[in-house]
Every structure is written in C-alpha cells, then in structure tokens.
Structure 1
Amino acid sequence: MLKKRVAIFSRALWKNGATKSLVELLRRIDLNKCNIDLYVLDFSNKAEWVKKIPKEINIEKVPKYGWNKETLYTIFFHPIHFIKSLYAGGKLKSNLSEIEYMKYNAARMPINRKKYDIAISYRHFDVDIFYVKNNMNASKKFFWIHGIQNLHQAEVSELKSVYKSYDQIFPVSIAAQNNIITFFPELLNKCKVAYCIVDSDEIIENSKHGRKLEKMQNQLMWNILTIGRLSAEKGIDLALRTCKELKKSGYSFRWFVLGEGKEREKLEYMIKQENLEEFILLGYDENPYGYLASCDIYVQTSVLESYGLTINEAKIFHKPIVCTNIPAAREQIIHKKTGLLVRAAETDVAAAISTYIDDKLFRESVIFNLQNEDNSHFESVEIFNEIIANE
C-alpha cells in the first residue's frame, strides 16, 4: 500500500502548548502509513521538545520568493497568485489588522509545488490557516484549534470562507469547539474534539529526572506552584496579588512560577514594590515534572485557555488544584471533588488555597478522587491515524 503524503504547517516551534502537542503527536503516529513534511515559517526560539520529532519526518522551511523552483512554478503555473503576491507585498508595508497581516503574509509566499493527500494547518488563528488554504495543493485539508478568541464582526467575515473551505476541524477541547461555533455555527458538523496528548506514565518517569522543590524544615511551609507563560492571558499578575493576600493572612509559603514571557519585568517590579520575596520566578524549564511532583498545591490563574495542559499534568500527580473558573477548567475539574474553581479575584483564589491548607480532610478527599482518575489522552493519535486510513 502506498504511503499517504501529509503536509503539516506550523508557523513556529516556540515553547508553548501547541508546539508541545504537535511534537507529542508526531512521536506517536504510524509512520509506516504516511510520509510527513513539516513546514515551519519561523525557526527562532525553538522549543527543546523539537529534538524529539522522529528523524523520519522531513522538517522544511516554508518556501519564499527567490531563485528557486517554487518561484518559477508560481510565475508560470499560477500567474494570478504571483500578481497577488506583489500586491500583498505592498499591503504588508501599511497598517493592517491582525487578520489582514496573516492573510497578506501567506499571500506573499509562492505556491507550494508539491501535491499532498492531506494538508494540516496546526493553528487556526495565524498565517497557517491562510497558507494551507491558498498555497498548498492537497486532496483534503484540516485544521486544529488551540486557542480561544473573541472575534470582531470584521474578523468573522474575513475568516468565514477560509474556515468553510476546510474538510474537518479539530478543536483541542470542548471549550475550544464551543468558542469557534459561537462565531461560526455552520462549522459544528465539521468539528471533532482532539484532546492534547497526555502520557501519564511518561510524565511520571520524567519527573524522576527533573528538578524538585525542597521541603523546608518548617513543616508548615507550603510550596505552591504555577506553570505558564508570563503573559496577560495566563494571569500571573493575579497570582502575585493572591500571594499578597495569603501573606497578609499569615500563611507560611513559597509560590514558584515556571515560565518565561514578556511580562517578566512588570512582575519583577511588582514583586519588589510589594516586598513579596515569597513569589519566585523560576524561568523556563524543559522538564517541569519534578516541580509538579514535589509541590503541595497547584494554582492556575489563567484568564483564557483552550485546554489547560498543565492542569491535566497536575492531576496526574494528584495535586490539590485551584483554577480560575474558565470554560476549559470546568471541562477538566469537578468543583470540590477534583479541585476548586474560583472567580478570577485574588480574594477568591487566596480563600481556595487557604481551604486546602486549613482543611486536611477536604485536601485528602480531593487527592483521593484524583487517584481514581485516568488522565492520559491519546485521542489525537487515534484521530490522526483515522484520517490517514480514510483518505
């Protein structure tokens, strides 16, 4: 049987959940049934996980105009696209909306001359979605949804025809699916939830080789952990304000944050201004699982989340979890049974943390409930193999 030819487009391979989920998928799919080309536009700041991509997968830089076969192919066989590329080049020099920038950025690139059975856009709100639609030749096209967006009417109008042109759509959670069909209800029948891959056994094994939080001599010292990019949507500033509340209440704790991002300077300033030496920015760590295994309480203060991968990972280690009450968290946490869901306010987050600290019986009941859950997810692998088999 001939192998299926598959192209996957991912604008970048940065240190984020989308890249991690892509790598985990590529590690597990049946490469005896398909040949995969992974196209990447931006190779800067690559995540360490990229090294785990199987060597059988061909990683290519997205072709651009120049003295190459793609340019000649576009000029001779797709002259209208070439003319549009010249126009797009001019538009990119003007003030554009986010959607317009994505569209013209893709239009500025030549047609990919290879023919595929399947082409996949691994992001739905980026240049990926336009490039796969307009620049790739494939029998079937799919896209993954890794984010939650609040779209304006102009953006909905711009994206409607793009999204409708795809054959199937794979949101990484029910929350992500509900978000997309709020704006594009006609896409519901094309959606199939494909949760990010979570391998409990591998995560537990990796925790044995990762750095751990030290237990203090003072047994009343609690180690709180948050993992997330230092950006507005992750709500690290809310975690910092919660730290201030807990300190005022007299609790003995250290709050560690794993992750990097553009808000580091702002957070460092806040830490200094409020004298919150208990709030410690650890930076990025490729293997966070030692920290997860050794923390006492896990707190996620996200404002937006399509799927809380680190929430799932904290559940694997049976950690008492506090999370802001966002749709993705409600999909993963049963309030007062497998965690606590709270309003995005420092008083509420602090009250939930203090509940775990003060109420041993409740804390142990949550841990017990988590011990009886299976938190592994391999649906994405099954879905991908299904796609290959059916095309």
Structure 2
Amino acid sequence: MKTKRTIFILINTLRGGGAEKVLIDILRRINFDRYEITLGLVFPSGVHINKIPSQVKLIYLMPENPFFSRLLNKIMFEWPNKIGVDFLTKIFINIRFNETYDLEVAFMEGLSTKYLRYKNNRNKRIAWVHTDLKNNHYTSSLFESVSEESRFYNSYDQIIFVSKESMLEFNEMFGVPKNKQLVQSNLIPRSEILYKSEEFQVSKSKFTIVSVGRLEIQKAFYRLIEVAKFLKNEGYEFEIWLIGEGELEADLKAQVQNLDLTSEVQFLGYKHNPYPYIKAADLYLNTSITEGYPLSVCEAICLGKVVVCTSSPGSREILGDNEFGIITYHESYAIFSSIKQLIDTPELFEEYEEKSLERAKIFDEKKTMREIENILG
C-alpha cells in the first residue's frame, strides 16, 4: 500500500475571510487517498471550523483555556519584537507543533508565515500570498523591518501567489528569487455556487447593489456608503445589501445614520450562504483598497452579475481592461459615476451581464484542484 504524503497547513484562523474559505474549499475536494492533512490554527476560532472535513486532523497553537490564551496572546502579539519573546515563541511553537511532515504550508501572510518558519522539524516549505502586500502591508507590525520579513520569505522553498500582478508587487518589496515563485489562481467552486444560489429566494423591489466582505479597513466600505449618498442625491431608487461582519460595523452604521441612508443601506451580517442574495441583486460592488484575487467578485461573475470594482491586481486579472466588468479609480465619485452610467444605459448593463457569464467559464474547479495537488506533490 502506497504511503500517503503528510502535509501540515498553518493558517491564522478560520474566520469569514476569502483565504479561509478558499482553504476550506480545497480541503473539501482534496484526495485523501493521496494526502494525510493536519491543519494548524494559530487561534481556535472562526465560522468555518465546522466545515473542516473529518479526515483532517486539527490542532491549535493557542490553547483553548481562556486564561492561558490571553496570557500567551499578550506575550506573543502585543510584544512581538521584544527581546526574548521570539525565543520563547519558538519554544512554544515547537511544543505545540512537534511532528514532522513531508510538506509544510503557511496558507496566509503574517503570523502563519512567521510561525511556520520557527518550526525545527522541516522538509519542504511553501508560503501562500493572498493579497497585494505592497498596497496592503498589514503584516508589517509582526516584523522588525521589511528586510526581516524578506528574510522569512526567502527561507521558504516556494511562494504561491494568487495573481500575477500581486507577485510583481511583492517582488518590488521583497525580491524573492524567480525560481521560487508560482502563480496559482484561487479555487472557485462554480457548480457549488450555482447550486447554493437556488437554496432559497430573496425578494427585492428596487435596483439592488450587493457587496460581501469583512467590515475592515482594507475593504473600504465607507466608499460604498458615500456612493449611496451620491445615488440618493441624484434621485435614484435603490437599495444596497452589505453582507459581512467585522470590527468596523459600528463605525459604518454610524456613517449610514449620519448621512440619512438607513432606508437605502442594509447591513445583513455574516451569511453562511450569500449566493441567493448575490443572485437576486442587480449589481455587485467591490470597493477594496487592494485585492490579491477577490473571491467575492469571482462568485458574482459565476452568477452572471454585472461587477463594478476598484482597481487592484486581482480585479484587473479577473475583469481585464473593463472587458468583463467595470474597474474604477479609488474615489467614491468615480465608483458612483460608473454605476450611474450602467443604470442610465440599459444596453451597456445587458452587455456586461453577458460578458460576466462568458468570463465565468474560466473557473474550472477540477483543473484548479489538479494544479493545487501538483503543487502539494
């Protein structure tokens, strides 16, 4: 009997983000006759934990005991660059993650990439980069300098990028040898998206815009609310559905209240199945500061939605030069102008609906899984 290839995958949490969902989609489709998977979580939390296949062994870095978890959290994350803390962190990581694997994968930037490097037992290591770190360098506080972060990345055997442009932006910062780099598009389970979009019906009575994502700085949902104000001032009848949760929810709701948009902007919270809402809406809007490969945009395209998206490496790779959707500048008025043009020009709107369905054909989940399994070996 052939021995299975043992793989350890480390990710920060399984919260409701795009990278986390991609990982779950991969694990649900991977060949367990070929691989023995152990999944490590830095934090024992996230909405996707109950979706982990039973064949996957799950281990946590942070203990589930609240007292010890708070203590370690303070030491490891509030003082990440203090003298002696790195040394203690390395010891703790090697106690918690003490087994040897054929392949180790840091599936996210930041903590996963840093902590996997601390493991003593190692064969081949891969780091996955899901964002444009040049324009969204959210990991900077975890390293003493860009040079230190670069050394961590250079210690990996291979780095996987979700888009070509995000790889080029990464190279401007970190300069990893080209023979270590590979672009691999995210897994987009098109057939499942179409199936789940039929699970229930969502009714609407006005032109409806939908947006999905964590309510955090990088998603720039304040722009969406400003767009709503412009649309209202122009006299349009519309509704915006914002699906997601996060630390900025109170601030965004206050902005909606202050701009008198409570009838127009609806906060729907996190949805395990957002697809019926995306299907029911007329237009999908992405306002992010940057994206490596925007998962929600891909999902909207699978459902034939017209997409308006701020410019980023991922959006340009998916939508082309306004060929399959409209890419705008990072200004609320520019986003509004693009939406206004679509509403006012029905033939243009219909053209982009057709283009969206055409573009959805690139999402071949079987082909993508073959490519990912080739990476895993």
Class of the TM-score when normalised by the shorter of the 2 chains: 0.7 to 0.9
Aligned to 1:203: 193
> Taking structure 1 as reference, are residues 114 and 380 closer, same or farther at Cα in structure 2, changes over 3 Å only?
farther
Per the TM alignment, residue 41 of structure 1 is displaced from its structure 2 partner at its CA by: 2.3
Q: 1:41–1:61: 8 Å Cα contact kept in structure 2?
A: yes
Detail structure 1 runs of 4+ shifted over 6 Å in the superposition: 88-91, 100-104
Q: 1:323–1:340: 8 Å Cα contact kept in structure 2?
A: yes
Q: Distance in 1 between matches of 2:351 and 2:243?
A: 27
Q: Distance in 2 between matches of 1:208 and 1:328?
A: 28
| Structure whose alpha-carbon radius of gyration is higher | 1
Q: 2:224 aligned with 1:236, yes or no?
A: no
Aligned to 1:215: 204
Instruction: Give TM-score, length-normalised by structure 1.
Output: 0.84
Which deviates more from structure 2 when the two are superposed, residues 106-115 or residues 341-350?
106-115
Q: Distance in 2 between matches of 1:132 and 1:24?
A: 22
Mapping for residues 267-346 of structure 1, pairs under 5 Å: 267-277=252-262, 278-346=264-332
Q: 2:358 aligned with 1:372, yes or no?
A: yes
Aligned to 1:170: 160
Instruction: Give TM-score, length-normalised by structure 2.
Output: 0.87
Aligned to 1:75: none
Per the TM alignment, residue 36 of structure 1 is displaced from its structure 2 partner at its CA by: 1.0
Q: 2:292–2:312: 8 Å Cα contact kept in structure 1?
A: no
Mapping for residues 80-95 of structure 1, pairs under 5 Å: 92=76, 95=79
Aligned to 1:133: 117
Per the TM alignment, residue 102 of structure 1 is displaced from its structure 2 partner at its CA by: 8.0
Q: Distance in 2 between matches of 1:284 and 1:305?
A: 20
Aligned to 2:69: none
1:85-106 residue CA offsets vs partner (Å, 9 max, x unmatched):
xxx99975975569x9888645
1:322-359 residue CA offsets vs partner (Å, 9 max, x unmatched):
11122221111134431111112121111111111110
Aligned to 1:52: 51
2:371 is matched by which residue type in structure 1? I
1:152-173 residue CA offsets vs partner (Å, 9 max, x unmatched):
7952211222211211111122
Q: Helix, strand or coil for the counterpart of 2:125?
A: strand
> Taking structure 1 as reference, are residues 166 and 224 closer, same or farther at Cα in structure 2, changes over 3 Å only?
same
Q: Distance in 2 between matches of 1:125 and 1:103?
A: 18
Aligned to 1:146: 130
Which deviates more from structure 2 when the two are superposed, residues 103-112 or residues 304-313?
103-112
Q: Distance in 2 between matches of 1:350 and 1:254?
A: 14
> Taking structure 1 as reference, are residues 207 and 106 closer, same or farther at Cα in structure 2, changes over 3 Å only?
farther
Aligned to 2:60: 61
Any stretches of 5+ residues in structure 2 without a counterpart?
64-71
> Taking structure 1 as reference, are residues 303 and 107 closer, same or farther at Cα in structure 2, changes over 3 Å only?
farther
Aligned to 2:4: 3
Aligned to 2:36: 35
Aligned to 1:78: none
Q: Helix, strand or coil for the counterpart of 1:115?
A: coil
> Taking structure 1 as reference, are residues 362 and 4 closer, same or farther at Cα in structure 2, changes over 3 Å only?
same
Q: Distance in 1 between matches of 2:199 and 2:49?
A: 19
Instruction: Choose from 347, 362, 369 the match for 1:381.
Output: 369
**CA RMSD across the alignment:** 2.6
Q: Helix, strand or coil for the counterpart of 1:12?
A: coil
Q: Distance in 2 between matches of 1:287 and 1:164?
A: 38
Per the TM alignment, residue 372 of structure 1 is displaced from its structure 2 partner at its CA by: 2.1
Aligned to 1:259: 244
1:147 is matched by which residue type in structure 2? T
1:355 is matched by which residue type in structure 2? Q
Q: 2:2 aligned with 1:12, yes or no?
A: no
Per the TM alignment, residue 145 of structure 1 is displaced from its structure 2 partner at its CA by: 0.7
Q: Helix, strand or coil for the counterpart of 1:24?
A: helix
Q: Percent of aligned pairs with the same residue?
A: 25
Instruction: Choose from 100, 104, 123 the match for 1:119.
Output: 104
Q: Distance in 2 between matches of 1:346 and 1:197?
A: 30
Q: Distance in 1 between matches of 2:32 and 2:302?
A: 29
> Taking structure 1 as reference, are residues 360 and 132 closer, same or farther at Cα in structure 2, changes over 3 Å only?
same
1:272-304 residue CA offsets vs partner (Å, 9 max, x unmatched):
111112011111101000011110111111112
Q: Distance in 1 between matches of 2:85 and 2:293?
A: 26
Q: Distance in 2 between matches of 1:118 and 1:376?
A: 27
